[in-house]
A and B are shown apart, each in its own frame.
Chain A
Amino acid sequence: DAKTTQPPSMDCAEGRAANLPCNHSTISGNEYVYWYRQIHSQGPQYIIHGLKNNETNEMASLIITEDRKSSTLILPHATLRDTAVYYCIVELSNFGNEKLTFGTGTRLTIIP
């Protein structure tokens, strides 16, 4: 079963920052937070991951609270192509055995 809780849906205006929350109150010290998304009927797409520190890449930023019980994925300037289901996943990193457990995710809709 998924170890995370996400809102089922969110809307965001095009060009604004989309902030997607995720609760993972039972996360253990060696578990990572991963974010994936699925655009329409395509395969899931990796976005970003982190352990303790905030992370940023060309797609998004990941903010993890100090107690690690929650995190926020930030898409800084949302576009229509960012409309997708976003999955927050907590898993051990076994450096080769990434058995990801997908939950129901958040359906993000970008409004023109």
Chain B
Amino acid sequence: EAGVTQFPSHSVIEKGQTVTLRCDPISGHDNLYWYRRVMGKEIKFLLHFVKESKQDESGMPNNRFLAERTGGTYSTLKVQPAELEDSGVYFCASSQGQGFPGELFFGEGSRLTVL
């Protein structure tokens, strides 16, 4: 069974440009999460989808970040325009949810470098 896959693995862009990160969760997982670690900081929650609906987006830093999950399958996280402080590793995770508390499956992450 395929795990959580993220694309791209590494993206280098200039300040002011736009980047879109993609996450494909494990098939059948209704819950999808985005987390990120910026340089020297802890891994932080960004938002949570249940199917196509945003359940909790309290961790989104500002309105330059837009997450979507069309059809309840894969998700995209767009940063527009990117700033230097957005550099870091963005992790996606998925879970079955009901009946399986706390077991999130993480992808390898997408490393974003903003120059």
Residues of A within 8 A of B (CB): 2, 32, 34, 38, 41-46, 49, 91, 93-104
Contact = CB atoms under 8 A, between A and B. Distances in A.
Contacts, number: 70
A9 to B, nearest CB: 16
A43 B42 contact: no
Interface residues of B, number: 30
A98 B108 contact: no
A103 B42 contact: yes
B71 interface: no
A42 B55 CA distance: 26
A29 to B, nearest CB: 15
Counting from the closest, the 7 A-B pairs by CB-CB distance are: A43-B106, A96-B97, A93-B101, A102-B43, A49-B102, A34-B102, A46-B103
B61 to A, nearest CB: 16
B56 A97 contact: yes
A97 B30 CA distance: 11
Interface of B: 4, 30-31, 33, 35, 42-45, 48, 50, 55-56, 89, 91, 93, 95, 97-109
B97 A95 contact: yes
Contacts of B98: 95-96
5 contacts: A2-B42, A43-B107, A43-B109, A49-B101, A98-B33
Contacts of B91: 43-44
Given A46-B103, A49-B101, A99 B48 contact: yes
B31 A104 contact: no
Contact of A99 (B45, B100, B107, B108): B45
Contacts of B56: 97, 99
Given A44-B91, A104-B42, A32 B106 contact: no
B101 A32 contact: yes
A2 B101 CA distance: 18
